[in-house]
Structure formats: structure tokens, C-alpha cells
Structure 1
Amino acid sequence: MTSAFKLIVFSGLGWMFDAMDVLILSYLLVAASKDLGLDTQARAIVVLANNLGMLIGAILFGRLSDRVGRRPVFMTTLLIYSVATALSAFSRTWPDLAILRLIAGLGLGGELPVVAAYVSESSAPKERGRNVVLLESFWSLGAIAAAAVSLFLFTSIGWRASLLLLGLTAFYVFVIRRTLPESPAWATKAEARLTAELIRRAAVVSAVWFALAFGYYGAFLWLPTILATERGFTEVRTYQFMFYTTLAQLPGYFSAAYLVEKIGRRPTAAAYFLVSALAALLFANSVSSTELFLWALALNFFNLGVWGVIYAYTPELFPTAVRGAAMGIAGSAARVGMIIGPTLYPLIGINAMAVIASLWALAAALVYLLPETRHVQAGDL
């Protein structure tokens, strides 16, 4: 196993579990509803606890990774997640589940920015962007796995046994990650402070991350409901639709991994943001099942591709000594978008897609306020 392959796969497996956990939550709340007495308000509290944990974890562990190193932090975050997920299987009331989701969220929120910084720092400049986008592609594997777990494990062995199995499997990834070394860039880092220019970059990047997460969670978490209520899809057709369109995410990542090194971070991000915006508008205005399917494919392809680009681009904009903190700030902005975005559809219905498209178009312009980082040593701009 080559070092680059090992770096991406061992880091990506933890990323995959993060995606599974985030996306499986809605299925879990349905499956555990009767056992835990979950009404609408209780479900909202559990989701809020999860999201707050992720927000706090991004800030806390991002900054901590600058101080003590990337490796001990991403090992700790995965351990927190695996233990909390396994313990969730033994929840007796919905407040038990909410507390454990808050703890699991701490691990989830801390994992993503720290591992992205780690892979970026551990990669050669000519491969750095590609490697981080490939890391982010494990999110799609997690999304596919979440659908599979919900459709097969929840219905066959139940939600408690499923969560216990997920926690134990994540713990196995924690064990095999022990062979990964510390980031060489962090080990030799020089002291740095957030200067005025870096603060400006952090503000712009945070706005981009907010827009990206606001739109992603605002659109994708409501897609099943949109298909059922706006388009009259049955439950089976909805699950099939979501499964097949989700498959478009992987080639979206792979195309972005190629283009970030071929043409650069900014043009790739801008193009993928703009096509995502167009796909959202056309999806909302589709008049047939075929059109819905085609534009959902485009939405999955380009929007998940831009996630990969932004994860690759952000750590390159900051020096090693403050990179974890900067990634944490960006990650926390994404968590705010994650919390607010899903509130849009209940308020204005399918018109939410127009708001999302506008934010993504704005994000396409914002990336040009940042310097291009292709072929440049991270943090040297």
C-alpha cells in the first residue's frame, strides 16, 4: 500500500463514517420514534443538539490541532464519535439520545476540518488539491452507505443493533489509523498570527462555506419531501430516486479532483457553484420525472464536486500554525448554514431553491476575492 493511498483511504474511512452519521440521522429519528417517544419537538431538539455539537467541535478541535498536532486530535475525534454512537444504541429516552448526539457531534465537527488540513499538509504540492478532493469523495460513499444501512440494517436488525455496529466499525478505523504519522508540516511549523489579510481571507472563506452548507442541507435534506409532496412520488420511488441520483456524486468529485490541478481552484469552484445554482433552479421548475432526474443528477454531480474543491482550497490559504483554527472557523460557518438552511423550505416551499441558487451564485463570485493556490506551497501566499 503506497503512502499516498494509505493517507487518503485511512483518513477517508473516518470521513465516510462522518457522512453516514450526518445523513442517517433523519432515518434514525423515524426508526427510533416509537421506542424513544419522539414527537416533532423532540426530533428538532435531537437534530439541534447534533448540529451544535458539530459547530463547537469544529472551533474547539481545529484550534487544538494547531497546538498539539493533527494526529492526536483526529484520533481523539474519531474515538469520541465511535464511543458516542455505540452508546446511542442504549438510549432509553429521547433526552439520552440528544445528549449522546451532542457528544458525537463534537467528534464529527472536529474530524472534518482537522483531517482536511492533515491530508493537505501531508501531500506534495502538485497532488495536494487532488488528494483532498478524493478525501472528500468518501462523503459520497458515506451517503450511499447511509441509504443502504437505513434500507437494510434498520429494517432487519433494528436501529439499536445498527448503531452499535456502526460504533464498533468506526472504532476499528480508529485502530488502523494509528499507523498514520503526524503531519510533517505541523511538526516543523513556524509561529504565526492571524494578520489583517488572513482575517479577511477567513471572513470570505467563511461566507463561501456558509453559502455552500446552507444550500446543500437546505436542498438535500428536503429532497425526499419535495418529491413526495410537490411531485407525488411514492415512498419506494423516492428512495430509488435518491439512491440513483446520489451515485452521481462520485464522478462529480473525481472530475473536480482532476480540474483543481488542471485549471486551478478558483475557476473550478466558480464553475461548479454556478452549474449547481442552475441545476437547483431547473430542478424546481421541472415538469416531468425525466427532467427531475436529470437535474437532480446535475445537482449531485456539481454540488458535491464543489464541496471537494472548497475543502482542498481552504487549508492552502493559511499558514500551518493557524490552519487548524482557520479550518475550524470555516467549519463552524458551515454548521451555522447547516442549522439555518433546512428552515427555508418549510417557510417558502419550492421557492427555497431560488434563494439557494442565488447564494451559490454569490459564492462563485466570492472565490475570486481569494488568491489562486495551485502549484503554491500552502500558506506561502
Structure 2
Amino acid sequence: MSRPPVEVVRSLVPARMDRLPWTRFHSLIVIGLGVSWILDGLEIQIVSSMGGVLESPSTLHLTSGQVGAAASWYLAGQVVGALVFGRITDKLGRKKLFILTLAIYLVGSGLAGLSWSAWSLYFFRFIAGTGIGGEYTAINSAIDEIMPAKYRGRVDIAINGTYWGGAALGAAASLVLFNEDIVPLHWGWRIGFFIGPVLGLIIIFLRRQVPESPRWLLTHGRAAEAERTVDEIEEGIRSRGVELPPVDESKALDIVDAGRLSYLQMARIFFGKYPSRSLLGFTMMATQAFLYNSIFFTQGMVLIYFYDVPLDHTGYYFFPFAVGNLIGPLVLGPLFDSIGRRKMICATYVGSGTLLLVSAWAFNAGLLNAVTQTALWCVIFFFASAGASSAYLTVSEIFPLELRGQAISFFFAIAQGTGGVVAPYFFSRLIGGADNVDLDRLPLTWGYIIGAATMVIGGLVAWRFGVDAEGKSLEDIADPLSTAHRADEPSTPEPTRSI
């Protein structure tokens, strides 16, 4: 029995999006989507500063291991959320998901402020993690599909880096929340969990103004809607006196309905068609996750136990650390578009790993104090922050559009599951907390060495298998699965319909 004819739609939507200049529309996208990262950083920094607070008998009286476990539960939630919502965002669209996942994240964060035991805290942190895991997939997909090719690298890296703007605010807030002369200890940590949900209500309204990704619409049978969306964007630009150059017809794509992919088909694409890109994505995500989660979630305990920093003073050290992480993507981000992805990824990964090795030696030798340790962390993560942000950019742009959300979720989940979830608990055990009477530095030194080695490995893999994606259209980096010549054994197609 013959199969029905396959309709082919010819469209210039991707090429029209890539030739746009920077406009107020793109600024709206950055604000509407990037602010979520600020909230995430704000909350995580406050939670990271709670390490000593939650061990107090006047709060939840956790052990250092339980503090690390709370972080691991949050990261485990991110893994589940990424896997679940990554597949949904490729099916239902970017916009629906980045509103839904934000709502889940804010509810989970608020409920964490009502925790009464270690296990209730674990549960609510897990819920919040599922929301932010979904955020990573939907937002990175939308950003890369909407931004013009020449700006995509710097914008994606900068938006992921805004996490640290929130972390800097969280560090400042912790100076107040965990100062018993200002806020009672048993209330400060609960208020810290409520800040994100209150501010997040504003973001939901901002995101309602962000349109669905035209590229997603085009490849999901909604080509006319995709064209109308781009028409509206261009009309807004021309109304401000900006002339847009015409788009060459040779850049048109012939699109068919590729249908929904099974998990087996996805595996064949990842590991059969793109094995080196899959290795690249996994390695970049796993190595940066291990480094960040190992140091970031235990930084407060290191300052308190090894450098005798008072609990309510740790924010003074977190603030410059967060600022260094914020400046890195902003300063280095444009170089990923000019010098190139592969060179900059290798430089930031290997550079941060090498500097961490130096700091591990100095830490073990007792040459550092709280100020110099923090200064070294600032320099290390100036580079590591840009590298970590580029991991999300890389995974988002090197696979076909129809798999973008699932690619991010897949590699994010594997990376967090293998490196991220384990790291906070592992490093908190190396520190030992109050149970480590002698404060032996050697176990934590070896932890730092392992973290440094993973980053160097990530950089070398990027140098060998990296993709020179700078300035290129997403469709030139990886053909959409729905392009006409990739349809599965099509029957005689109907005449191409241009819209």
C-alpha cells in the first residue's frame, strides 16, 4: 500500500532570524529568560551559606554530611527535571515549558523554607531541583534558536553567567539573614528560601511577553505561525527606522514533518550519527559539574573550619567569588564568537584546571588564608565560569533542532548524575566538619586535584572534538531532522509550498 504524499514547506525563517541586528526584542529575550538564572544563583548562594546555620541546634541540627546531602538531593531533582521536561519542551514548545518549570521551581523553593527535618528539606529541595533542571533545557533551547548567529555565543554564555549576579546578591543577603544581631538564626534560613519565590512572580509576567521559538514552530507543522512571528519581529525593527537586508532564496529550508522520535531513534542519532559530538557534550557537562558542585556547595564549610571565618562573615568572601564568576562570561563571552568555540573552551577549561592544581598545593602547604584562598577561587572561576556556560551553549547548538531540548537534558542529566550529585556529598565528607578534630588538609587537597584533572581532561577533549560553530546558523551546524531530504522514505512529495 502506498504511503500518502509528504508535504514540503519551503521557508526562510532561520535565515531571516540570523540576519537580524541586535534590537529591543533581543534585549527582552535576555531579560525575560536570563533573570531566572539570577534567581537560581540568589537562592543557591543563600543555601550554600546555610551550611553552618543548618548544623546549629537552634535550626535543623544537621551534620556536615546531611548538609552536603541536601545539595545532592537538589541536584538529583535537576537530573529528573531535565530528563522529563527536556522531552516535553521538544514536543510542546519552549514557551510553555519555561513558564511551567519556573513555577515548579518557585513552589519547591518556598516549601523548603517550611522544612522541619532533614528529610523534609531533601524532598522540597528535590522538587525545586526538578523545576530548575527543566529551566536549563527550555531556556537554552529558546535562546539559541532566537538569537542571531553572530551574537549567539556571547549571549548564551552571558545569560548562563548571570547566575552569578544572583549569587553576588545572595552573598550580600546572607550577611543580613545569618547575622543574629539582625535576624534570629531560626528565622534567617527560612526567609532565605522565601526570597526567590517572591521575586519570581515578576518573572512569570515578563515571560508571557516572550514569543514561541519560530524555529520550533517551523519544524512542528506550524510554519505559517512561525512566519507571522518573524514578520512581527521585523515589523517592530523597521518601525524604528532600521533597514533589513533581503534574504537570499538559496538559504531557504525545505521542511517536512519528521514526527516524534523514540528513545531508540534518539540513541542512534546521538551515538550513531554524532558519536564524537556526544562524547564532547558529555565530557564538557560532567567535568564542569563536578568542579562547580564540589567547590561551590562546600565553600562555606572550608572558610569556617579551615580559616576560622565566623558564620555570619562568610558572605564577605562569597561576594567577590560570585563577582569573579559573573565577570568571566561577560568579558570572555565575545571571544567565543571571535576567536572561536574550540580554542576558547580548551583555554578556559585547561586554564582553570591548572590554576586549581596550584591552589591545591598552596592549600595543603598551609600558605593560604581566607583572603588569599578566596582570591585564588576568584581567578580560577573567572575562567571556569565562562567554560561552564559554554558547555550548555555547545550541547544546545551541535545537535539537530528537534532534539535540542532532549540533548541538553540528556547530557545534563548524565553529567549531574555522574559528577554533580556525588560531588557535594563527597567533598563534604573530605572536609569532615566539626567531626574532623585535626582538620587534616590532605583529603580535601586530593579532592581539589581530582577536580582540576577533570577540567583539564574536558579542555583536551574539546580541543580534539570541538565544533567550530561561531557565526554559523544552527542549520549549518546540524541539519534539522525535518529537512525534506531526511524524511524517512517519502513517497512522491507534493509540489513544494513556499510561505
TM-score, normalising length: structure 1: 0.91
The amino acid of 1:134's aligned partner reads A
Rg (Cα) greater in structure: 2
Instruction: Rate the CA distance shift 1:112–1:154 in 2: closer, same or farther, 3 A.
Output: farther
The amino acid of 2:198's aligned partner reads L
Instruction: Rate the CA distance shift 1:139–1:335 in 2: closer, same or farther, 3 A.
Output: same
Q: What does residue 285 of structure 2 align with? A: 209
Residues 1:321 and 2:419 aligned together: no
Question: For the residues of structure 2 that align with 1:39 and 1:137, how far apart are their CA atoms?
Answer: 31
Question: For the residues of structure 2 that align with 1:266 and 1:225, how far apart are their CA atoms?
Answer: 35
Match of 1:76 among 84, 90, 100: 100
Instruction: Rate the CA distance shift 1:104–1:10 in 2: closer, same or farther, 3 A.
Output: same
Residues 1:298 and 2:379 aligned together: yes
Match of 1:246 among 307, 322, 340: 322
Residue 11 of structure 1, CA deviation: 0.6
Q: What does residue 103 of structure 1 align with? A: 127
- Number of matched pairs: 381
1:84, 1:104 within 8 Å by CA — same for their partners in 2? yes
1:85, 1:164 within 8 Å by CA — same for their partners in 2? yes
Residue 61 of structure 1, CA deviation: 0.9
Residues 1:39 and 2:62 aligned together: yes
Residue 233 of structure 1, CA deviation: 4.9
Q: What does residue 307 of structure 1 align with? A: 388
1:207, 1:333 within 8 Å by CA — same for their partners in 2? no
Residues 1:14 and 2:36 aligned together: yes
Q: What does residue 429 of structure 2 align with? A: 346
Q: What does residue 114 of structure 1 align with? A: 138
Consecutive unaligned residues in structure 1, runs of 5 or more: none
Q: Percent identity?
A: 23
Question: For the residues of structure 2 that align with 1:352 and 1:379, how far apart are their CA atoms?
Answer: 41
Q: What does residue 170 of structure 1 align with? A: 200
1:36, 1:94 within 8 Å by CA — same for their partners in 2? no
Consecutive unaligned residues in structure 2, runs of 5 or more: 1-22, 220-254, 431-442, 478-499
Residue 154 of structure 1, CA deviation: 4.8
Q: What does residue 63 of structure 1 align with? A: 87
TM-score, normalising length: structure 2: 0.71
Instruction: Rate the CA distance shift 1:283–1:56 in 2: closer, same or farther, 3 A.
Output: same
Instruction: Rate the CA distance shift 1:101–1:62 in 2: closer, same or farther, 3 A.
Output: same
The amino acid of 1:73's aligned partner reads L
The amino acid of 1:183's aligned partner reads S
Residue 39 of structure 1, CA deviation: 2.5
Residue 55 of structure 1, CA deviation: 0.8
Question: For the residues of structure 2 that align with 1:218 and 1:45, how far apart are their CA atoms?
Answer: 12
RMSD: 2.4
Q: What per-residue deviation string (whole Å, max 9, x for no partner) do you get for residues 258-289 of structure 1?
A: 10111111111100111101211122233244
Helix, strand or coil for the counterpart of 2:72? Answer: helix
Question: For the residues of structure 1 that align with 2:138 and 2:360, how far apart are their CA atoms?
Answer: 35
Residue 220 of structure 1, CA deviation: 2.8
Residues 1:255 and 2:351 aligned together: no
The amino acid of 1:9's aligned partner reads I
Residue 179 of structure 1, CA deviation: 0.7
1:315, 1:378 within 8 Å by CA — same for their partners in 2? no
**Structure with greater proportional helix content:** 1
Helix, strand or coil for the counterpart of 1:376? Answer: coil
Question: For the residues of structure 2 that align with 1:279 and 1:330, how far apart are their CA atoms?
Answer: 26
Question: For the residues of structure 1 that align with 2:394 and 2:280, how far apart are their CA atoms?
Answer: 12
